[in-house]
Amino acid sequence: MRKNIFKLTGAILALITLLTTHIPCKSQFRYGIRLGGEISTATLSGHTSTFHLHHGSGFAGGLTCEYLFREEGGPALGGSILYSHGSAMEVVGPTGSKDTRKLGNDFLEIPLHLKYKYFFPSTKGIFGTFAYTGPSFRMRLDKDAPDIPAGSRRFQPGWDIGLGIDVINFIQLSAGYRFGLNDALHPGQAKLRADGVQISAAILFDI
């Protein structure tokens, strides 16, 4: 199911891009700042009798940019460089135990998104919606607590999918979901998928 979602969203947006980018039009490049948060829905599987996962939330912030192929809407490319913190990476001992050990949860995150934007004609470009999908690359910056049975991987890729609104071509608000693409733990008794619900706000400026 996870792989089918990625293939379908990627194929649809890639097709839209191919069909629309050949039309002569005025493009637009914007840059700005992005702030957001993530509510973890991470899942732990495998041999988990000795420890379980404590869910939490985190935040992210950094620089972002967007290239819109057609100023009036259509396909666009977006990318960000973010510092992110948190997201339920705490391994706890057996149920009822007070033995808690934190996995590294400071990341450099680089999401690269393919978007499709639609501005409502009645609003004269003031209000629009968009859909996005694409990979998200996380590189862990800090260390795991010592003596964890299975430490976390430094590189944790994911795939994002979501929806958003664009207000006066200046403010973007979005909500989506991140699917962890690999086991976030080193090979061992348990497997961790670092999935999560994401929300963000961005302020963008024209060049």
**Average pLDDT taken over every residue of the chain:** 82
DSSP state of 153: P
Q: Where are the domains of the chain?
A: 2-206
Q: What is the dihedral of CA 63, 78, 136, 2, to 10 degrees?
A: 150
39-48 pLDDT, tens digit each: 988 887 876 6
Instruction: Assess contact for 82 and 61: CB atoms under 8 A.
Output: yes
pLDDT at 48: 62
**pLDDT at 140 exceeding the cut of 80:** yes
**What is 2-206's CATH number, 1.10.10.10, 3.90.650.10, 3.40.50.10490, 2.40.160.20?**
2.40.160.20
Rounded distance between C-alpha atoms, residue 56 and residue 51, angstroms: 16
pLDDT tier at 23, thresholds 50, 70, 90 = very low
CA dist list (Å): 69 to 41, 78, 93? 34, 11, 51
Q: d(Cα 61, Cα 55) in Å, to the nearest integer?
A: 21
120-139 tens-digit pLDDT:
887 767 899 999 999 999 99
Q: How many CB atoms lie within 10 A of CB 76?
A: 22
Closest among 39, 41, 38 to 192, alpha carbons compared: 41
Please, is 74 exposed, middle or buried when counting C-beta atoms within 10 Å of its C-beta (0-12, 13-18, 19+)?
Answer: buried
CB 92 within 8 A of CB 51: yes
